[in-house]
Each structure stands twice: as C-alpha cells, then as structure tokens.
Amino acid sequence: MISNYKFKILNSSRGVSLIEVVVCVAVFTILSVSVYGLFTSIINGITHYRKETIISSLANKYIEIARNLPYSEVGTKNGNPNGPLADSESPLDITFDGVSYRVYYVVNAIHDPADPNIGVQNYKQLKLYVKNMSTGTTNSFETTIAPIDLASMGTGGVISIKVIDKTWIPVQNPIINIINTNVIPNINLQRTGSIDGVWNEIGLPADSNYHIVVTKNGYSTDQTYSTSQYPNTSSPDVTVIESKVTQTTFIIDQLSNLTFHTLNQTCQPISDVVLNIQGSKTISPGESKFSESFTSNSTGEISPVSTSSCSTSCGANSCCLEWDNYAPSLVGNTYMVYGTSPIQSANVLPNTSQNFNLILINKTTNSALIAVKDSSGNSIEGATVELTNEGLNYNSVKYTGGSVWNQQDWFGGPNQDNFVIANQYYQDDGNINGDTIPLALRLAPGSAPYNNSGYLISSTFDTGTEETDYTALNWQATTENQVNDIKFQIATSNYTNGGDGTE
C-alpha cells in the first residue's frame, strides 16, 4: 500500500516591529551591564582582598622580626629606644608581587601607670607602618613587647614632663619635642602627652643637652634653652642621669590677640609709626622672650604676632600672641607719647582680644611723661609731681590727671551701694558666680549645666565731681566658645545707681 505525504510550505509576509527590537536591545543591555558590574565587583573584591592579604603578610613578617630581637635591642635607628629597626628617616623599601612598599617602625618605652616606680620601663610599644607607594595608602599595626626578665630591660634615664596652663591646670595631649644632637645616634623625638599633660620618656642616654619644646595647636610655646647660648637662663636644657628620673614642668596656654592703635590728639589714626613691642617674660636676664618692631598700617593699627607661635599654632585663628605684659616704645624721632590707655603696658590674658591706644604728638627737644600708680598698678589722679634741676635753676610742680576704677574681685558679695570695699558690689540676679577660685565672674551652675544668662551691677564709683570724662572701658576675660553675648551698660548720674545708661 502506497501512501502519499503532502508537505506545504507557507511563506508569511509578517515581520518584527521596531518597538520589539528596541525592547530586546534594552533587555540585553541591562543584562549585559548587570553581568559586567557583577564581574567588575568580583574582580575588585579579589584585588582588594589580595592587597590586604599581602599587607597583612608583610606586617606579620616584620613584626616577627622585631619580636625575635633581644628586648634590649628593640628600637629604631634614630629613635628612643635605639636599635636596628628601620624608622621613617631610614625606611625599608621592598617590592612584592610587582608593587613597591615602604616599611618602618616607631618604638616607645612605656611605663605602666599601675607601677608606682615612675622610672621603670614595663614594656615597649611597637608600631609598624606599611605604605603602598603606588596608591599612597598607609596601614599601621601595633603590638607590645615585654621583657622576659628585669635584667633585659636595658639602661638609661628618664625625663618626666608635665605640661600645665597659666592656672596650673593640665593641658590635654600637648605636643612635645625632645632633641639632643650631642649623643649618637642623634635624638629627635615628637611625642603626644596624655590627657593629664604628662609624658615619661624612658631609657634616654645620660647627657646634659636635652632640648625640649612644648606646644599645642592654638597654644603658646614653652621650651628649654642651651646654656652655651644663654649662660644664665632660668630654663636650661634638661640633664638625664643614669637610672634617675628628671622631672620638669612647662607652662603653655591659649594664644591671644593684641591690637595697638596709634592716634593723634583728636583720636585720628597715624600710619607708618614704628613701635617696638616688648614682653616681660625673659629667656635670661636682659634677654626678652618677645621683643619685635612693627609699623602701623593705614588705619593706625598694629597687631603684633609671635613668629614662633604662629608658625605652628595659628592656622585660621588670628590670635598669635602668648599671655604676657607687653610694653610699647616708639622707634624714631618723629613722635613722642602724650598718653596711653591702658597706662604704659597691656596685661594680656590667655584666649582674649585686647586694644591699646597710644596718643602721639610731634616730638619736642625735651619732654617727660610721668605716670603715678598705686600698689595695684592703677593710675592716681591729682598726685603732685615736682620736677627740680638745680643746675638749670628749674623747679616746676605738676598734677597728674586721669584715674582708673578697677575691680577684679567680687568675693565679698552684693548689697554695697558705693564702692568702698574692693571685693563687693551692688546687686546680681543669682545666676552669677563670683566667689570661686580663680577669681572671676562666671555663670552659676544651672540646668544645662550652667544658667543661660545672668547680670551683675557694680557699686557706684563716685568721682566726686560732675566734670568727669570717661575715655575707655577695658576688661580682661577668658571666654568659652559657646558664649553668645556679653554686654556692658554704663549709667552716669548724680544719684546712686541711677541715670542714663549706654549699652
């Protein structure tokens, strides 16, 4: 039986639309991008973990090298403790898997605070740094190495450094530089003190030439000085004695700003006046710590700065002068001083901004400016000054003008109408505290944790005459950053605690 099969081929004229093509391409693109992103992430992850593995391997290797040294030799070539390990000045440059790395150590001898013997070195802190020279990334690793027995702890002496501020409160985490080019290898160490302002440098070679410089960002600088340069200095370089502790204290505090104004008799500014500004602090007898000359600008202003303080501490802060008593003196023969406010010198406290006015007149052949003060440094009005020169047959009697009302102590409390007792005042609202040490006016403890505001009214300062001219209001203050406003109101009247006030 024969069967027949019939095949029919159909030819369809229907095609694919443009939208379907676009959709297909879009789907394909999304899938391709996703797969590529996943693939890239996997590759990056593998690369990252490979780099981390290499760095960890290098760290383990070089930490073990340090651990295998005798305890007494665990140190760096240019550091303290001294030893054979590479430091930042002489690092190891190595290549691993085609990548260049830089390896170096920092080693510190550590005294355990629980040990009452301050000079004892209880262990060494070792920090290892591995820097990828291609990426510039630096990884750090830290470990401690303890001695097997006391005999292996090494020799040397200790410098115990304490850093405090003007009020003897510890300065947190000061920056301390210890330098000695008289020993081999030379020592040039930078340390960061504790929160209590303390650093103990252990295991230093015995020598008498340890130069120490202490500062902090926004703070002044204190240091020791070489007796070869300053034979009579009160702050000589430190001496380290074998197996002994040498204790030394440094005082630094927040920087301040002082502006001098050079004015004529009508209080108009005078430019191009040269002043020598000299502080009262000395390095040695006759050698001032600060003595520099400055020229007033077009507005008659001079803002002296301490080059040593500003070079490391100022930044965006314009305050670059440490606390001290600064006295100006004219340089040149054009002007002479007719008067100053404050009298003669400016007492600058930490973290303050102050002004000093100099009234100048054209210089005459012979002149004298005489200031009469009481034991507190305040000027005395109406004092008799007699000038006598028998050789010139000259005799003249003058009287001082101007005076200063001054109050720096409010310990005596309120309820005093007239200013008789120097530490009392008229009234406050209970939110002011004026009887704590160091003496100053502060907001009293409140809810957050101090009161938001407060006021104090002084006693009446009776000048004894209606013909009184007030020239300046000066105040010395150390304020915290969170203080928003401090306002002064002056009331003048013929009556107690009355009259018109100016805020």
Which helix (DSSP H) or strand (DSSP E) does residue 161 occupy?
Answer: strand 157-164
Question: 40 lies in a domain?
Answer: no
pLDDT at 226: 93
In this predicted model, which residue has the larger pLDDT, 394 or 377? 394
User: Are 497 and 410 found together in one domain?
Assistant: yes
Averaged confidence pLDDT in the chain: 80
How does strand 274-279 pair with strand 324-331?
antiparallel
Question: 58 lies in a domain?
Answer: no
What average pLDDT score do residues 241-245 get?
A: 83
Question: 464 lies in a domain?
Answer: yes
CATH of the domain at 323: 2.60.40.1120
Question: 393 lies in a domain?
Answer: no
Question: 335 lies in a domain?
Answer: yes
**Most confident range, picked from 40-54, 152-166, 310-324, 383-397:** 383-397
pLDDT tens figures, 23-37: 777 777 777 666 666
User: Are 266 and 347 found together in one domain?
Assistant: yes
pLDDT at 17: 66
HSE of 171, CA atoms in CB hemisphere, 13 A: 28
pLDDT tens figures, 364-384: 877 777 878 777 667 777 788
Rg (CA), the chain: 37
User: Are 139 and 192 found together in one domain?
Assistant: no
Mapped to the 3 state alphabet, what secondary structure does 248-296 carry?
Answer: EEEECCECEEEEEEEECCCCCECCCCEEEEEECCEEECCEECCEEEEEC
| Predicted confidence (pLDDT) at residue 168 exceeds the cutoff of 70 | yes
Domain boundary among 251, 281, 300: 251
User: Are 267 and 360 found together in one domain?
Assistant: yes
In this predicted model, which residue has the larger pLDDT, 50 or 103? 103
pLDDT at 434: 81
In this predicted model, which residue has the larger pLDDT, 326 or 475? 326
What average pLDDT score do residues 176-194 get?
A: 92
| Predicted confidence (pLDDT) at residue 45 exceeds the cutoff of 90 | no
Question: 163 lies in a domain?
Answer: yes
Whether residue 395 contacts residue 375, with contact meaning beta carbons closer than 8 Å, is answered with no
pLDDT at 314: 44
What is the residue range of 193's domain? 157-251
pLDDT at 41: 63
User: Are 303 and 339 found together in one domain?
Assistant: yes
Whether residue 432 contacts residue 454, with contact meaning beta carbons closer than 8 Å, is answered with yes
In this predicted model, which residue has the larger pLDDT, 305 or 184? 184
| Predicted confidence (pLDDT) at residue 266 exceeds the cutoff of 90 | no
pLDDT tens figures, 434-474: 877 667 788 888 777 788 888 899 888 877 666 666 666 77
pLDDT at 313: 42
Domain boundary among 251, 278, 313: 251
User: Are 271 and 323 found together in one domain?
Assistant: yes
Question: 484 lies in a domain?
Answer: yes
User: Are 199 and 276 found together in one domain?
Assistant: no
What average pLDDT score do residues 352-366 get?
A: 85
What average pLDDT score do residues 166-173 get?
A: 90
CA–CA separation, 90 vs 74, rounded Å? Answer: 16
Whether residue 321 contacts residue 308, with contact meaning beta carbons closer than 8 Å, is answered with no
109: CB partners within 8 A, 6+ apart: 80, 81, 121, 124, 201, 202, 203
Domain count, the chain: 4
Question: 265 lies in a domain?
Answer: yes
Whether residue 330 contacts residue 338, with contact meaning beta carbons closer than 8 Å, is answered with no
| Predicted confidence (pLDDT) at residue 8 exceeds the cutoff of 50 | no
pLDDT tens figures, 289-300: 999 999 999 999
User: Are 119 and 198 found together in one domain?
Assistant: no
Mapped to the 3 state alphabet, what secondary structure does 74-97 carry?
Answer: CCECCCCCECCECCCCCCEEEEEC
Backbone angles phi, psi at 145, to 5 degrees: -125, 120
pLDDT at 417: 87
What average pLDDT score do residues 203-215 get?
A: 92
CA–CA separation, 386 vs 377, rounded Å? Answer: 21
What average pLDDT score do residues 385-406 get?
A: 80
3-state helix, strand, coil in the chain (%, to 5): 15, 35, 50
pLDDT at 9: 46
pLDDT tens figures, 71-104: 878 889 888 888 899 998 889 998 877 888 999 9
User: Are 426 and 486 found together in one domain?
Assistant: yes
User: Are 273 and 318 found together in one domain?
Assistant: yes
pLDDT tens figures, 306-345: 655 544 444 434 558 899 999 899 998 889 888 787 777 8
300: its two tokens: 């008659």
Other beta carbons less than 10 A from residue 398's beta carbon: 12
Domain boundary among 118, 136, 152: 152
